[in-house]
Amino acid sequence: MNLNRFYILLLTLVIACAEPKKESVPEAGEEASMTFVADSFALSTVIPRVECNKNPALNYALYLPKKYNENVSLPAIIFVDPHGAGSFPLYMYAPLAEKYGVILIGSNDSRNGLTFNQVSPILQSMISEAFTRFNADKKLISLAGFSGGAKAAMVAASEMQGIHTLVYCGAGFKEIPSPLPPALGITGIRDMNYTEVKETDRQVEKAGTGHAIIEWNGKHEWSDPKTFENAFYWLHFRAMEKKISNVDQAMVQSFLTANKSPDKLVLNEEKRLFKIINFLNGVTDINEYSKELSSLQKQQAYISEKKKEQDDFQMETQVKLNYIQCIELKDMLWWRDEMLNFRKAGNSPINDRIKGYISLACYSFSSNALKQHDLKKAEKYLGVYALVDLENPDRAFMQACLYGQLQNKTGALQSIREAISYGYIDKKKMESEPSFSAFRNSPEFNELLKQMN
């Protein structure tokens, strides 16, 4: 498989919404003209499933903070999870919603594998619900997505007029859709898409859009609440910059206090200063921090470290491409030895990113082989996948699919058990997977489905 074909697979299999068909999308303000209808929901509680008023086939998770009442228009963040697990980020960030007075809505229907034409009406329905059902402030609707959900959120934000801010976590574009609202990138330093998110931030800056990027010590996952608090700062500071709300000096001071400590490492200090400048631009005087940044970037230590960082990124890119070729060219003994070498080298951020990238490639290659019923290749790719990322729930799920296509019911059920134990949560996909048709009605399979409730 050549590299160009691999990149096509990544786009179509992992995040099919990456290449949208341009279409007319109602503006957020147009949805707001609908009549607001008050409903009674528990406050300060994550509600995992709420059916859409206009389209009961769609549903979402909901969190209304204690500040919510039908006479006050609060900001809202609409979350796009790659597995359609709308409640997952809401449980994580509910305390932040309380602190900052924000409505949280998480789609249970938008997920990896859907085209933009499928995602678009889902997100339009979420926005409509925010306006018409919860009286959200039509000027303060934000989209936040992770992984494939980040790409879906980014495309939707470029197509829908009136989105206030965008938060893209763990994924981005080399060529961004445009125009975009002020965009905040969040990436773990161990995330295989780390360099992709950093490149996306550069592209957003190049487009002249308000931008910032936050790094944290994590892998490919929704960030911890402490890190994601920056998304709430971003939402409110951009409202202050646009004069939608008054400058909250207490919030500004809280942000500065949290970011006041200089870092001895020059590249980390650059990130700190960039963060303050980009977050508070148009909100308060940032001249002091701009001068500090300019001075730092003239230091020889900074220039040397910046060059080393750029060289490391180039090396990382080349290593990733070499490993993609090795999935086809090398046998299982070679891969076993290579993964032993990885373990001996330790869990450095760059090693974790490379392993994550190989895992993503194995996912794409395996998924494509299974769809084409090329079981010999699927067995090879899934074997490499197991050596690289054994406890990945998608890996175990696809192993079950392979066994299903081989009519190995025992192996399939065992792999399904493993997938669930590793955290597989996409019950809809589990129920509808064609590879399980031979035993879908069996008591053993239905007992496993019950474990996913």
Q: Are 209 and 227 in contact (CB under 8 A)?
A: no
385 burial type by CB count under 10 A (0-12 exposed, 13-18 middle, 19+ buried): buried
Chain segment 41-72, per-residue pLDDT in tens? 999 999 999 999 988 999 999 999 999 998 89
**Contacts (Cβ under 8 Å, ≥6 apart) of 242:** 139
Residue range 109-137, pLDDT digits in tens:
998 888 878 998 899 999 999 999 999 99
Distance CA 315, CA 350 (A): 10
pLDDT-derived band of residue 425, with 50, 70 and 90 as boundaries?
confident
- The stretch 393-414 carries a mean pLDDT of 97
- C-alpha to C-alpha distance for 124 and 80, rounded to whole angstroms: 12
Give the confidence band of 223 by pLDDT, cuts at 50, 70, 90: very high
pTM of the model: 0.88
Show contacts of 121-125: CB within 8 Å, 24+ apart.
Answer: 121/55, 122/58, 123/78, 123/80, 123/152, 123/153, 123/156, 123/160, 124/25, 124/26, 124/31, 124/160, 125/52, 125/54, 125/55, 125/58
Of the pLDDT bands very low, low, confident and very high (cuts 50, 70, 90), residue 88 is very high
Residue 24 has pLDDT above 50, yes or no: no
**How high is the pLDDT of residue 21?**
35
Domains of the chain by start residue, with CATH? 3-246 (3.40.50.1820), 305-450 (1.25.40)
At position 367, the amino acid (one-letter code) is S
Kindly state the tokens that stand for 45: 């509680």
The pair of three-digit structure tokens given for residue 60, joined into one six-digit string: 């979402």
- Under 8 Å between Cβ of 262 and 249: no
The pLDDT assigned to 11 comes to: 41
Q: Quick: pLDDT tens for 335-388.
A: 999 999 998 988 899 999 999 999 999 999 999 999 999 999 999 999 999 999
Q: What is the DSSP string of 8-33?
A: HHIIIII-GGGSPPP-----HHHHHT
Rounded to whole angstroms, how far apart are CA atoms 263 and 33? 48
- Among 7-21, 173-187, 249-263, which stretch is predicted with the lowest mean pLDDT? 7-21
- Give the tens place of pLDDT for each residue, 268-315: 999 999 999 999 999 999 999 999 999 999 999 999 999 999 999 999
Average pLDDT, the chain: 91
pLDDT bucket at 40, cuts 50 / 70 / 90: confident
